[in-house]
Amino acid sequence: MPIDVQWAVPERVEGLEALLEALLEAVCEACFSLEGVENCGMAVRIASPDEVRELNRTMRSIDSETDVLSFPTARFRPGTTARDNLKRLKREYDPFLGYVNLGDCVISLPRAKEQAEAYGHSLERELGYLCAHSALHLMGYDHMNPGDRARMRDMEERALRLASLSRTEDFPMTDQMLFDLACEAMLRAYAPYSKFQVGACLLTRDGRTFQGCNIENASYGATICAERAAISNALTAGANHFVAVAIAGSGAQSWPCGICRQVLNEFSDDMRVICGQYGHDFEVVKLAELLPRAFGPEQLKGGSDGE
């Protein structure tokens, strides 16, 4: 995903330049993923207070400093956001850049430092928040009334959680958050044959999450489903008891196939299954509803009893 990070201040923060681009790219990727847009990019300029104030005065006729400014290049219908204007976004494609340029974000580094200290969190988190705030503005979000403000704030926090920049790590994992992680994994699927991408995310009993995506193969039988890819990742990390799984399909809901239902049952027969289509709502059922009267480890206990 193209993110053009520009450093336009004389001062330096030790180690920040090295991680800044990856940090801001993760935040932007989370915002774009939550919105359901692809092949989009933006510019992020880390600027001085004087530059921000001059831009604010010149472009908005407001002669004051602020923490972040957003200058969108894509225009959407009033009351809509990027997800409602996918055809219009395609028309904004820039063949020279190779992606849709959503616009520019300009962040005042000194103001970000001040706010990070005032709020008691890291500078990285504050920069991530300001970048998410701007990215959402570039996609048509606003905060002029309480309803729009709440909607935008929710998207900001969800993006920061996906980018591992939450203010604290004690947020409970919600169905929506788990589904968002499945959607994120879906975008990394390897599906050149079916063109049907699937992502999955498992939630373990100890609160960890593990993602997986479908990996197709020219020998179709060698294809790996997203659910089993996630299970492999979890088992490799020593996790073997799951309480929920979220699954996202690119073109439709993607309920687990029979083999995946059986493999999931091996590690929890009562896990919650959250399933939906990318960019749409999801449904929640228990695994036992998808695999009634299942055969699992319990049936093998006792070996030859009854023989």
Q: Examine residue 209 and state whether it is found in any structural domain, yes or no.
A: yes
What is the domain extent for residue 183? 175-298
Both structure tokens of 149: 């403000």
Task: Give the pLDDT confidence score for residue 151 in this predicted structure.
Answer: 84
Q: Does residue 275 lie within any of the structural domains?
A: yes
Total number of domains constituting the chain: 2
Tabulate helix, strand, coil % of the chain (nearest 5). Answer: 40, 20, 35
Active site residues: 227
Q: What is the pLDDT at residue 173?
A: 73
Both structure tokens of 211: 């993602």
Domain annotation covers residue 170: no
- Let me know if residue 150 belongs to a domain: yes
Task: Provide the residue count of the chain.
Answer: 307
- 145 & 199 share domain: no
Q: Are residues 229 and 206 in the same domain?
A: yes
- Name the residue with tokens 């006729």: 61
* Domain end call among 162, 196, 216: 162
C-alpha separations of 198 from 70, 205, 252 in Å: 33, 23, 10
d(CA 261, CA 249): 16
- Are 135 and 213 in a shared domain? no
Nearest to 279 by CA among 179, 205, 207: 179
Are 145 and 205 found together in one domain? Answer: no
Residue with tokens 């920049």: 165
Does one domain contain both 212 and 135? no
- pLDDT score recorded for residue 60: 93
Question: Are 13 and 103 in the same domain?
Answer: yes
> What does the CA dihedral 74, 78, 79, 80 come to, rounded to 10 degrees?
-40
Q: Name the phi and psi angles at 294, rounded to 5.
A: -70, 155
Q: Which residue among 162, 184, 217 closes a domain?
A: 162
Pairing mode of beta strands 272-277, 242-249: parallel
Torsion angle of alpha carbons 13, 16, 17, 18, nearest 10°? 140
Question: Is 304 part of a structural domain of the chain?
Answer: no
Same domain (yes/no): 97, 120: yes
The CATH number covering residue 251 comes to 3.40.140.10
What per-residue confidence (pLDDT) applies to 268? 86
- In the predicted model, residues of the chain with pLDDT beneath 70 are 1, 11-19, 166-172, 206, 302-307
Nearest to 68 by CA among 26, 6, 7, 129: 129
Q: Is residue 305 part of a domain?
A: no
Q: How many CA atoms lie within 13 A of 211 on its CB side?
A: 18
Residue 293 domain flag: yes
**Residue for token digits 């996609």?**
139
pLDDT at residue 16 in the model: 59
- Strands of the chain, DSSP E: 3-7, 40-47, 68-72, 93-94, 99-108, 198-204, 209-213, 242-249, 272-277, 282-286
Residue 167 lies in a domain: no
pLDDT of residue 168: 46
End-to-end CA distance of the chain: 60
Tens digit of pLDDT for each residue in 227-283? 999 999 999 888 888 999 999 999 899 999 999 999 999 998 789 999 999 989 899
